[in-house]
A and B are shown apart, each in its own frame.
Chain A
Amino acid sequence: MNAEPTPEKIRQVILRTLPRAEGDNPAIFGAGASLDSLGLVNFLADLEYRLAEAFGCEVVLASDRAMSRRRSPFRDANALTEYIMELLTT
């Protein structure tokens, strides 16, 4: 049986999936982040599978909603957590 997704549980999955996660809210992509574009692709692909394993949910992270935002939901762990919660609840 899959766990119920909560912001904290999702944040933990993100932190476990990031190749280098330093601090509570590590930068993921953009200024000051360690991932280049190929690294981001790898990370998001891996994260989708880990989210499916942990919560039994099928999300596509690179959605229209993500790509059309002025501020990228992939900029740091907190922004990504919030975005994933939004995908799962709307």
Chain B
Amino acid sequence: MKTRRIIIVTGSSRGIGHDVAAHFLARGDIVHGCSRGPVTSANRRYRHHALDVGDEAAVVAMIREVVARDGRIDALINNAGIASMNHALLTPAKVAQDIFSTNFQGTFLFCREVAKAMLRRKTGRIVNFTSIAHPLRLEGESLYAASKAAVESFTQILARELGPTGITVNAVGPSPVPTDMVRNVPRRKMDALLSRQAIPRFGTSADVVNVVEFFLSPASEFVTGQVIYLGGVSG
């Protein structure tokens, strides 16, 4: 019999986050999702929290609420992210601030608060989201890639800080998945990007779920501080 896990998925209203949450729900887990706006779900094992992931007080309140309600958190899937594709010289400071607030500060705040809850049980799995935009040094995505580089560095150091506690921290770096985030990229640019992968095709949410479940597996307790890119991209 499978254990019913308590899992937090950030950015669960659409895209990969939505599909990852749907996978856990289909498996029988309890999922606490979040996004800026409200979401209604018919699934009674899904609970939605409307918040900005970069808002410290809101994140603290959400995690306390999850622990008060379900008693523990087994896994955190830190998927929430935004992108803004533009030349660095044409990027307003506010855009840079927003990207780092969601992609890095949001990841940091959820890791910090969830790890505190996991420390009480000396076990837990954290999976952060990076992107192949960082290792491929994609032009036009300098701020996005820089925020993901920060996530990777944070993931690897947090893994060491939490190493003795039974909590693992890893990251998955999806190749482009046809979601809203990549929909506005011109086809020519997308083809050029896919040709840089060892396996030149779009990724799918199922590809991402596969890596996430690997990190969540009880057998992966000795795997931490790792970054896995999809599509055959190397760091």
Contact (Cβ within 8 A) A60 B120: no
Find chain B residues with CB under 8 A from A49 CB.
Answer: 64, 67, 116-117, 120
| Chain B, 118-164, CB within 8 A of any chain A CB | 119-120, 164
How many pairs of A and B residues are in contact by the CB < 8 Å rule?
26
Residues of B within 8 A of A (CB): 56-57, 60-61, 64, 67-68, 115-117, 119-120, 164-165
CA distance A45 to B121 in the complex (A): 12
Provide 19 A-B residue pairs closer than 8 Å at the C-beta atoms, listed in order of the A residue.
A38-B164, A38-B165, A41-B119, A42-B165, A45-B116, A45-B119, A46-B119, A46-B120, A48-B116, A49-B64, A49-B116, A49-B117, A49-B120, A52-B64, A52-B68, A58-B60, A58-B61, A58-B64, A60-B56
Query: Which residue from chain B places its CB closest to the CB of A62 in the assembled complex?
Result: B112
Q: Which residues of A contact B (CB under 8 A)?
A: 38, 41-42, 45-46, 48-49, 52, 58, 60
Q: Which residues of A contact B67 (CB under 8 A)?
A: 49
A50 to B60, CA, bound (A): 14
Per DSSP, chain A at the interface is helix
| Secondary structure class of chain B's binding surface, majority of residues | helix
A49 to B164, CA, bound (A): 21
A-side contacts of B117, CB under 8 Å: 45, 49
CA distance A52 to B60 in the complex (A): 11
Residue of A nearest to B109 (CB): A60
Question: Which residue of B is nearest A46, CB measured?
Answer: B120
CB distance from A46 to the nearest CB of B (A): 6
Contacting pair B60 A42 (CB below 8 A): no
A45-B64 contact, Cβ under 8 Å, with A38-B164, A60-B56: no
Nearest first, the 5 A-B pairs at minimum CB distance are: A45-B116, A45-B119, A58-B60, A58-B64, A52-B64
Other than the known A41-B119, A45-B117, A45-B119, what 18 A-B pairs have Cβ atoms closer than 8 Å?
A: A38-B164, A38-B165, A42-B119, A42-B165, A45-B115, A45-B116, A46-B120, A48-B116, A49-B67, A49-B116, A49-B117, A49-B120, A52-B64, A52-B68, A58-B57, A58-B61, A60-B56, A60-B60
Residues in chain A near residue B116, CB distance under 8 A: 45, 48-49
Cβ–Cβ < 8 Å partners of A42 in chain B? 119, 165
Give the nearest-CB partner of A45 in chain B: B116
Q: Complex: how many Å from CA A3 to CA B120?
A: 23
B68: chain A residues at CB < 8 Å are: 52
Residue of A nearest to B113 (CB): A60
A9 to chain B, nearest CB (A): 19
The distance in angstroms between the C-alpha atoms of A41 and B165, with both chains bound, is 11
A45-B64 Cα distance, complex, nearest whole Å: 12
Name the residue among B60, B61, B116, B120 with the largest chain A CB count within 10 angstroms. Answer: B116
